[in-house]
Structure 1
Amino acid sequence: MDYPLRFCVWELTLACNMRCLHCGSYAGRVRKDELPLDRALALVDELVDLGLERITLSGGEPLLRKGWEQIAGKLMDRGVRVGMISNGWYLRERLRSIVALKKWDVVAMSLDGLRMTHDAFRRTPGSYDRIVTGFRILRGAGIDTACITCVSRYNLPELDRLHDLLVSVGVKAWQIQPIFVGGRTREYQDMLLGPRELVEVASFMARKRKCSPLEVYPADPLGYCSRFEPYIRPEGWQGCGAGKYLAGIEANGDVKGCLSLLPERRGDNPFVEGNVNRTPLREIWENPENFAYTRRFDPAKAAGFCGTCPHVAGCQCGCTAMTYAATGSIYENPNCLYRELKLNGEEDPRTLVPMTPEFQEELLAYCKETRNRRLQADWALSRARRAALGKNPSPGPQLT
């Protein structure tokens, strides 16, 4: 089977000014063997020659990488859609360089709660304010922005207010990603969401996707094949894309199917398929022995609930990174929505059932509430404008 490389996440550097509690990469110091700039620029050509369509530049903090502008600029010049994920701290200082690259697909920043929660997660006082300011600055510069939120037990109650904040600063898209065991999270496992809390996240997302001006979408660790699936991921879950159409490249040139595929502890990573300093990228990608965990996934090896699930052949036990982090195996996922709902008698095992009447009622109530808030805001703005012009303000909308 042919596996075209369409999407890549490239860790430009592991250097980072923050030490986030939930960082999967233990980011902080530069890797000793970080790719020099000339090799990184040559790697751009290798990626394009494989047919790459989209890339996300990440870290660490990518704005700390010397020559990041040249790497991003060359990718754009070669016709690749380029995005970047930043912690927002250096955005103002690097703004001129960011704006000079006029072909951004999106610039994303990570916001993990309201002020106190976010700054605590990031161990960096002032981080929240810099990110919120950064969103406004980028909007003013005409650059589309996105937000990534890593959801834990501590920021789950803040999602509604965080949503309204993102709308107010002009963010276009919001990716919601449950944290899972990996990197520093191993030291703070009290943050992890349980299966029932994942259902709560899915319910929240289903409501927002119906009514929000934001494009709200889940990261791969949330799913799969449950009655929520059509409402949080309309295209449906097609199995983990790592090594099938997605590659992750670490700052030292190590190639994996996804950057989130982490070793059980610091040290050798069983998911590294090769290094571009020793082997051409095409040879790594096209090697039939590589990326076996997705390309040659064997449903017969599925264990636990996954071994009995009717969706296992297509689902492939969900996100490989989360599954392996939770169990040390790629064949059993304890954090699946379908599993949680089925075990609690809330899921039809034969099909992806439509929303229940109770869920529809809740959704309609939310839509009505949202509409009323918008009407009130529009009326207040109109009243202020009319007052400024010396006209009699209107009495306001009749809300129902």
Structure 2
Amino acid sequence: MFRISQYLRELDAAIRSGAWPAVRTPRPSGPVVIWNLIRRCNLTCKHCYALSADHDYAGELSKAEVDTVMDDLKAYQVPVLILSGGEPLMRPDLFEIAERAKAMRFYTGLSTNGTLIDAHCADRIAATGFDYVGISLDGLKATHDKFRRLDGAFDRSLAAVRLLRARGVKVGLRFTMTALNQQDLPALLALMREEQVDKFYFSHLNYAGRGNIHRGKDSQFAATRQAMELLFERAWQSVQEGREEDYVTGNNDADGPFLLQWVAARWPEWAEALRERLVAWGGNSSGVNIANIDNLGNVHPDTMWWHHSLGNVRERPFSAIWSDTSDPLMAGLKAHPRPVGGRCAGCRHFAICGGNTRVRAQQLTGDAWAEDPGCYLDDEEIGLAAGADAARVALAPFGRRESEHA
């Protein structure tokens, strides 16, 4: 996750004080765990990485097994649990799991489509004490309902936002941009402010599950750059106006170098200080600071790697699986620097982005260490000779053979 607002608040403090603020380095801990407790979902969204549908899936972890895993996660110093699905609210014991997580002092988030949240459910969410609830909106009504394949989905999700806000729950909107919904981003940002939503999470399209099918229609680089500039401008405006809004992005670590470039064009005297902060961030953290456990107990480097299991928590504790680098993918992800190739290897911003998103490279080339084809920076921006783009991996459409294995 790339925290735009955090860096711009630091920039604002530097401009005001004349010195970049000292930032406390957090103590080493385990990874943030995104936990897909259930695969069943009441929707069949076009870009679902879990390929969920509205039916039961056999073999999911029981409550007793979840408790055992949770004990191990706590001992391994995992700080954050994001409870997800499918649609997690369809799991009957979700609130029992969340209450236990809160009692164990995990930062506990809920990732939901929001359509099942009525007043009673909102009361339970508030009473449970979730630290954060992310609700997915793919655009305004017509766009969102088309993506979610359900008429009325937008109205129900927006109603959920309002119900939770009325109960003092911290809420964020989650938006995955493709060429099919990019036109709705400005209006969605306006809606966020109208509804006094706390956070906006902008996700670049990643190639997993149904999202893989849309990669041939991925929002191309010019549109991505425009979207990021809009987010930077909105976040900076928010900082200047003293608003408690957070703008973050995910699934494309080129956002770090692009923000550095945006800042350098406006406040060149602060570019080096920001660069130092971004190098400390280090870019993509799949397999290092972000982890995924799926509904069957399989562990993955992140949620987009469901086609690659590192092990199962029924057979080995998560802590043992996560510490094991005998898997070549895990060894490469934990390596510093990572063994990337192509234009990523020669990029002058490699220390910032860490080679960007490895699953995109793997899905398009079969090689997890090839260049990330989703990088939207051009040759000059990354320090390569002009014209090197001609040899880039293309954003090819999803093929029939690949779809059989997604």
Please state which band the TM-score falls in when normalised by the shorter chain.
0.7 to 0.9
- Aligned counterparts of 1:32 and 1:297: Cα–Cα separation in 2: 39
Find the aligned partners of 1:303 and 1:54 in 2 and give their Cα distance: 32
CA distance in 2, matches of 1:348, 1:325: 23
Q: Distance in 2 between matches of 1:117 and 1:222?
A: 26
How far did 1:326 drift?
3.6
Aligned to 1:99: 126
Are 2:210 and 1:158 aligned?
A: no
Task: Assess, with a 3 A threshold, how the Cα gap between structure 1 residues 115 and 66 changes in structure 2: closer, same or farther.
Answer: same
Matched, 1:26 2:51: yes
1:115 has 2:146 as partner: no
Q: In 1, are the aligned partners of 2:300 and 2:306 still within 8 Å (CA)?
A: no
Deviation per CA, 1:58-90: give whole Å up to 9, x if none.
110000012111111111000111011100111
Match of 1:279 among 316, 320, 324: 316
Q: Quick check: 1:135–1:170 contact (8 Å CA) kept in 2?
A: no
1:140-172 per-position Cα deviation (integer Å, ceiling 9, x unaligned): 111010111001112212111111111111210
Residue range with higher mean Cα deviation, 203-212 or 73-82: 203-212
Of residues 324, 330, 335, the one that matches 1:296 is: 335
In structure 1, stretches of 5+ residues that fail to align are: 264-268, 351-400
**Structure 2: distance between partners of 1:87 and 1:231:** 33
- Please name the residue that 1:56 is paired with: 82
Is the deviation greater in 29-38 or in 64-73?
A: 29-38
Of 55, 69, 75, the match for 1:43? 69
Alignment of 1:7 with 2:44, yes or no, is no
Letter in 1 for 2:127: A
Instruction: Specify which of 122, 147, 172 is matched with residue 198 of structure 2.
Output: 172
TM-score by length of 2: 0.77
Q: Secondary structure at the match of 1:116?
A: helix
Residue aligned with 1:228, SS: helix
| Matched residues, number | 335
C-alpha separation in 2, matches of 1:127 and 1:227: 34
Partner of 1:218: 249
- Alignment of 1:318 with 2:356, yes or no, is yes
The one of 77, 97, 105 equivalent to 1:79 is 105
Kept in 1: contact 2:82–2:111 (CA 8 A): yes
Separation in 2 of the partners of 1:107 and 1:150? 16
Q: Percent identity?
A: 24
Mark the structure with the bigger radius of gyration: 1
Counterpart in the other structure of 2:397? none
Q: What amino acid is the match of 2:344? A: C
The equivalent of 2:303 in structure 1 is 259
Higher relative contact order (CA 8 A, sep 6+): 2
For residues 237 and 350 of structure 2, what CA distance do their matches in structure 1 show? Answer: 32
Q: Distance in 1 between matches of 2:136 and 2:258?
A: 29
Contact 1:34–1:251 (Cα < 8 Å) also in 2: yes
CA distances 1:233-259 after superposition (whole Å, capped 9, x unpaired): 985251321221221100111111211
Q: Which amino acid aligns with 1:219?
A: G
CA distance in 2, matches of 1:298, 1:327: 21
Q: TM (normalized to structure 1)?
A: 0.78
Pairing 1:241–2:285 present: yes
Q: What RMSD over aligned residues (CA atoms) do the two structures have, in Å?
A: 2.4
CA distance in 2, matches of 1:115, 1:240: 33
Separation in 2, partners of 1:150, 1:42: 33
Deviation at 1:230, TM superposition (A): 6.8
Q: Compute the displacement of 1:124 (Å).
A: 0.8
Amino acid at match of 2:257: S
Find the counterpart in structure 2 of residue 149 from structure 1.
Answer: 175
Rounded Cα–Cα distance in structure 1 between residues aligned with 2:351 and 2:226: 26
In 2, the alpha carbon distance for the partners of 1:6 and 1:279 equals 17
